[in-house]
């Protein structure tokens, strides 16, 4: 592992001033298909190739299950206004209910997942999830939303989290991005979930600015560079990479000496194909090295549960 120190900011072209929006909402009709394509590309010459292919197929299921789903039900308008006033996420995970769209998403994902290739352990996990009753389903959904998944059920919750990602992406896509506000350190302004990673983007009007990517609903929110996402510290920030790694130039870990935590930062302005969930999984080697160095992972990724 190599420590590269604080980066120099990339110059902004003359005539273009970065004025990034605070938040950018997900497009559930494209985000999972794009992620599946990125995972398949990564899998071609990767030592985690079989697992990346499995996750790619599962992301494809997330994409394919959506046509014809019941409409999602946003909270009442007055609740959304109240959430903004008190700087709370409008999609409150603690008030989650199993509406018709949730039930349909759950059933379709499990049915379509049955048709994809997967490791034997994942097949056994899928069967267990398919066989749970209503009480078990509620418990699994609650554990995934609270990021309190029992160690012995990590594999089962890959499918549960995949269903929740679809549902919450559909909910978040219907919010007003301009009405979202910061709700707390390292939390998504739409649903209050932790990030999967952060990205330096190349969008017009936001060139070379950083956005955190929600691990649940996929909302992106603007966050300063060279500032710990986890605790807000600006001193003791460094950047780690796997020495000689093929992705070292585009995927690094931002470490913080104040909280001894880290979050990956993807340089999407250099490689637009980078995806915060897919490339987080594909750079597991960086996580293992940082764990050996005593840093704690501050990200949540349903496809890296246990790491």
The Cα 192–Cα 302 span in angstroms is 16
Q: Which run of H or of E encompasses 256? A: strand 251-256
pLDDT at position 307 is 75
Do 142 and 227 belong together in one domain? no
Do 148 and 251 belong together in one domain? no
Do 17 and 45 belong together in one domain? no
Lowest average pLDDT, out of 56-65, 88-97, 156-165, 250-259, goes to 88-97
Do 35 and 171 belong together in one domain? yes
Do 144 and 19 belong together in one domain? no
pLDDT at position 242 is 86
Do 202 and 257 belong together in one domain? yes
Query: Confidence class of residue 289 from pLDDT cuts 50, 70 and 90?
Result: very high
In terms of Cα–Cα distance, which of 46, 22, 23, 42 is closest to 34?
42
The Cα 150–Cα 168 span in angstroms is 22
Do 56 and 172 belong together in one domain? yes
Query: Would you say residue 245 has pLDDT above 70?
Result: no
Higher confidence at residue 243 or residue 19? Answer: 19
pLDDT at position 143 is 95
Alpha helices in the chain (DSSP H): 31-43, 49-64, 77-85, 100-113, 120-130, 134-145, 154-172, 278-282, 284-292
Do 224 and 275 belong together in one domain? yes
Q: What is the CATH number of the domain that holds 19?
A: 3.90.1670.10
pLDDT at position 5 is 54
Total structural domains in the chain? 2
Do 80 and 110 belong together in one domain? yes
In terms of Cα–Cα distance, which of 173, 191, 163, 215 is closest to 71?
173
Look at residues 121, 153, 176 and tell me which one is the last residue of a structural domain.
Answer: 176
Query: Would you say residue 12 has pLDDT above 50?
Result: no
Query: Would you say residue 265 has pLDDT above 80?
Result: yes
Query: Would you say residue 129 has pLDDT above 70?
Result: yes
Q: Count of CB atoms within 10 A of residue 97's CB?
A: 6
Over residues 236-252, the mean pLDDT reads 83
Q: What are phi and psi of 133, to 5 degrees?
A: -85, -175
Give 105-174 as a DSSP string.
HHHHHHHHHTTS---HHHHHHHHHHHT--HHHHHHHHHHHHTT---GGGHHHHHHHHHHHHHHHHHHHTT
Query: Would you say residue 13 has pLDDT above 70?
Result: no
Whether 243 contacts 2, CB under 8 Å: yes
pLDDT at position 243 is 77
Do 159 and 41 belong together in one domain? yes
**DSSP state, residue 245:** -
Query: Would you say residue 2 has pLDDT above 90?
Result: no
Over residues 136-164, the mean pLDDT reads 94
pLDDT at position 244 is 66
Look at residues 135, 160, 176 and tell me which one is the last residue of a structural domain.
Answer: 176
Look at residues 143, 176, 209 and tell me which one is the last residue of a structural domain.
Answer: 176
Query: Confidence class of residue 248 from pLDDT cuts 50, 70 and 90?
Result: low
Task: Print burial letters for 177-200: b (CB count within 10 Å at least 16), e (below 16).
Answer: beebbebeebbbbbbbbbbbbbbb
The crossing angle, in degrees rounded to 10, of helices 154-172 and 120-130 is 70
Query: Would you say residue 65 has pLDDT above 90?
Result: yes
Do 150 and 244 belong together in one domain? no
For residue 49, CA distances in Å to 187, 197, 281 come to 31, 21, 11
What's the length of the chain? 307
In terms of residue numbers, what domain contains 190? Answer: 2-24+178-304
Do 288 and 208 belong together in one domain? yes
Could you identify the residue written with the tokens 């936001």? 206
Percent of the chain with pLDDT over 70: 93
Strand partners, 296: 261
């Amino acid at each position: 592992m190599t420590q590269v120190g604080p980066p120099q900011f990339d110059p902004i072209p003359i005539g273009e001033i970065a004025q990034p929006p605070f938040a950018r909402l997900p497009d559930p009709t494209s985000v999972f298909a794009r992620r599946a394509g990125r995972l398949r590309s990564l899998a071609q010459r990767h030592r985690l190739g079989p697992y990346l292919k499995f996750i790619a197929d599962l992301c494809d299921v997330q994409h394919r299950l959506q046509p014809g789903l019941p409409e999602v039900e946003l909270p009442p308008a007055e609740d959304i206004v109240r959430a903004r006033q008190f700087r709370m996420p409008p999609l409150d995970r603690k008030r989650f209910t199993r509406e018709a769209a949730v039930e349909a998403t759950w059933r379709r994902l499990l049915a379509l997942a049955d048709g994809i290739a997967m490791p034997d352990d994942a097949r056994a996990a899928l069967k267990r999830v398919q066989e749970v009753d209503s009480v078990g389903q509620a418990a699994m959904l609650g554990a995934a939303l609270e990021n309190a998944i029992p160690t012995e059920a990590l594999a089962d919750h890959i499918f549960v989290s995949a269903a929740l990602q679809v549902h919450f992406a559909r909910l978040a896509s219907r919010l007003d991005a301009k009405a979202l506000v910061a709700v707390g350190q390292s939390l998504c302004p739409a649903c209050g979930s932790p990030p999967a990673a952060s990205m330096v983007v190349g969008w017009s009007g936001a060139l070379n600015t950083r956005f955190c990517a929600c691990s649940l609903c996929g909302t992106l929110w603007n966050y300063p560079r060279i500032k710990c996402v986890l605790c807000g510290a600006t001193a003791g920030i460094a950047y780690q990479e796997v020495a000689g790694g093929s992705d070292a130039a585009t995927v690094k870990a931002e470490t913080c000496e104040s909280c001894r935590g880290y979050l990956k930062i993807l340089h999407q302005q250099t490689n637009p194909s980078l995806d915060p969930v897919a490339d987080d999984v594909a750079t597991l080697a960086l996580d293992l090295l940082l764990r050996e160095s005593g840093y704690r992972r501050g990200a949540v990724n349903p496809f890296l549960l246990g790491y």
